[in-house]
Structure 1
């Protein structure tokens, strides 16, 4: 069966949510299984040869509940003027970027995965280093790519694993990145949360791209000469962008003092906020949503106390304000209980 139990639950929770958090492990793993079924195409360097048939692509998109235009992936009739999208080695980076950026109602932050920011950066780097423009890398090409990309300091391990699969296309590369991605760093302290909150406050409909790029540059994901890749445009509202930004920062920003209070399990906090508390899915908690959230958050809930301290102006609060509230409730407890979930790491 395609989805594991946690993913099935998340499909139900996210059925009405209209944005993507990137690609999770189940979504990537199923693509790899599909890829391995068609060994003739996967061993070929022919640029226009499909890696898997149109019907398999469409079935996969339906399984992940992709909400975009599926018709462009279907086999076109001979007289049709509409250009079809063939998923092959050359187009795989574009296909993965499309999946990460577009809505899939199976997206769930409880699952291990890569944010849309990561998929965009890693795939753009893959395209840049694909000098032959055939979508596949040999061992030497992989070594050059890995030297140009900072992926959790696991370059040597990745090289050993990927070399066994040569030639490697963008899908196998992305799979390897996820496997080597650090598992235990998902922390945010107040300074980091406030940094994201300030970016959100200075933005309008969408997060300010220049300020967001400047923030990404501090994370050392790519060398300086590739910093232009960190300028990413999003069609999502700023309230929703902020949620993914905090998840992304929690996994890549090491700029916090471990002896000071911080929030762990950021993915779960953002999941709870967006799925259980933000009933109207606008990325904010209004006063009614806030009161419902605080009833569950604190056994010693006192409506007036919470409202005066965390909702003083009656203005709906964003995810950054919510995280700061959770941090202030018990700063000594760095593993605060969150709806009883067990983190995946």
Structure 2
């Protein structure tokens, strides 16, 4: 109760996040619809990127030919959107795929799609082998396939009704059932595990790990360190381990936030006897952190943390047993330290 009371207040004071990352279902559905309607022009994509995603310089995210048509690389566009700080339609409280997950899933997708004759897409028949690589069992795979079949039948029905003035061969429409990169990401998002959350020991481990793990010249976490975390999840066949070597140029502080979110969702350790910060609570505090991180550097300054605590104390319905959190922390605070502080008061 205390957790949720503390977090809900943020929505009252902020309309959009100061910065955000990854891709959620709403964003993926908009992209899928654009491709289904064959509206892949420079004008349409520029408008969508600017107005829907809130990115001021949209042309940096895709390449078009001289005519501005049919030359947008969907995979590259999705990757750039996932890694780009966006201003609208984004929230850590909304289930999303982090940039790491987007990059990994697209890599696995491409490996399978490159072996087909469908312009880089997958057929429904190819999908089970891809999902097996991602450690889904037969029952889960069957559910995914059946859901897609229903969705495809509905889509064909709407298409036929829309084009009643023309003659259509139903078999030819069925043959068009292909899965694009955006379709695949939406599938993986919809079957994403809820996760068991994080216990105090895991949070402490992240604090120590972040302080001591090697960083690159650009200030991001060394890729091999991130790879170790993803391998521990066992979320894919070991033959794909090399795909966890992410080449990121973002700050280590932002990467830490994503890694803690992914761990909360994908860690297979069920916490029975230990007190746990559940996944939805981790999401909400991540959203708080992003909103109050005014300069979007992945740190809380003492001033930013004071602002957050002042509002939290004012809006709390029921003060925690240990009293309200105090701003007695010296120096900048990354998300792992912030979560540890809040856990101390709201467990």
Q: Does 1:189 align with 2:199?
A: yes
Shift of 1:76: 5.1
Which residue number in structure 1 is paired with residue 173 of structure 2? none
Cα distance change of structure 1 residues 201 and 145 upon mapping to structure 2, 3 Å threshold: same
Cα distance change of structure 1 residues 68 and 252 upon mapping to structure 2, 3 Å threshold: farther
TM-score, normalised via structure 2 length: 0.75
Q: Distance in 2 between matches of 1:197 and 1:115?
A: 20
Per-residue CA deviation, residues 54-104 of structure 1 (Å, 9 max, x unaligned), is 3222221112123455167576547xxxx98813xxx32232122112222
Q: Does 1:60 align with 2:44?
A: no
Q: Distance in 2 between matches of 1:11 and 1:289?
A: 14
Cα distance change of structure 1 residues 10 and 76 upon mapping to structure 2, 3 Å threshold: farther
Higher RCO, Cα 8 Å, sep 6+: 2
Cα distance change of structure 1 residues 293 and 201 upon mapping to structure 2, 3 Å threshold: same
**Any stretches of 5+ residues in structure 1 without a counterpart?**
1-7, 39-50, 332-345
Which residue number in structure 2 is paired with residue 105 of structure 1? 87
**Equivalent pair of 2:196/2:270 in contact (CA under 8 Å):** no
- SS of the residue aligned with 2:264? helix
Shift of 1:24: 1.2
Shift of 1:275: 0.6
Q: 2:78 aligned to 89, 92, 96, which one?
A: 96
Stretches of 4+ aligned residues off by more than 6 angstroms: 8-11, 301-305
Shift of 1:251: 1.2
**Equivalent pair of 2:325/2:345 in contact (CA under 8 Å):** no
After superposition, the CA RMSD in angstroms is 3.1
Per-residue CA deviation, residues 313-340 of structure 1 (Å, 9 max, x unaligned), is x222211011111212132xxxxxxxxx
Q: Distance in 2 between matches of 1:238 and 1:232?
A: 13
Q: Distance in 1 between matches of 2:197 and 2:295?
A: 27
Q: Distance in 2 between matches of 1:84 and 1:199?
A: 47
Cα distance change of structure 1 residues 195 and 60 upon mapping to structure 2, 3 Å threshold: same
Q: Does 1:179 align with 2:168?
A: no
Cα distance change of structure 1 residues 72 and 315 upon mapping to structure 2, 3 Å threshold: closer
Per-residue CA deviation, residues 19-67 of structure 1 (Å, 9 max, x unaligned), is x4211121111112222323xxxxxxxxxxxx72332222211121234
Q: Does 1:23 align with 2:34?
A: no
**Any stretches of 5+ residues in structure 2 without a counterpart?**
1-10, 153-176
Q: Does 1:245 align with 2:259?
A: yes
Q: Does 1:156 align with 2:138?
A: no
Higher helix share: 2
Equivalent runs, 1:108-257 vs 2, <5 Å: 108-130=91-113, 131-132=115-116, 134-150=119-135, 154-163=140-149, 165=152, 166-182=177-193, 184-185=194-195, 187-203=197-213, 204=215, 205-257=219-271
**Equivalent pair of 2:196/2:269 in contact (CA under 8 Å):** no
Q: Distance in 1 between matches of 2:225 and 2:13?
A: 32
Cα distance change of structure 1 residues 169 and 279 upon mapping to structure 2, 3 Å threshold: closer
Q: Distance in 2 between matches of 1:230 and 1:72?
A: 23
Q: Distance in 2 between matches of 1:305 and 1:167?
A: 52
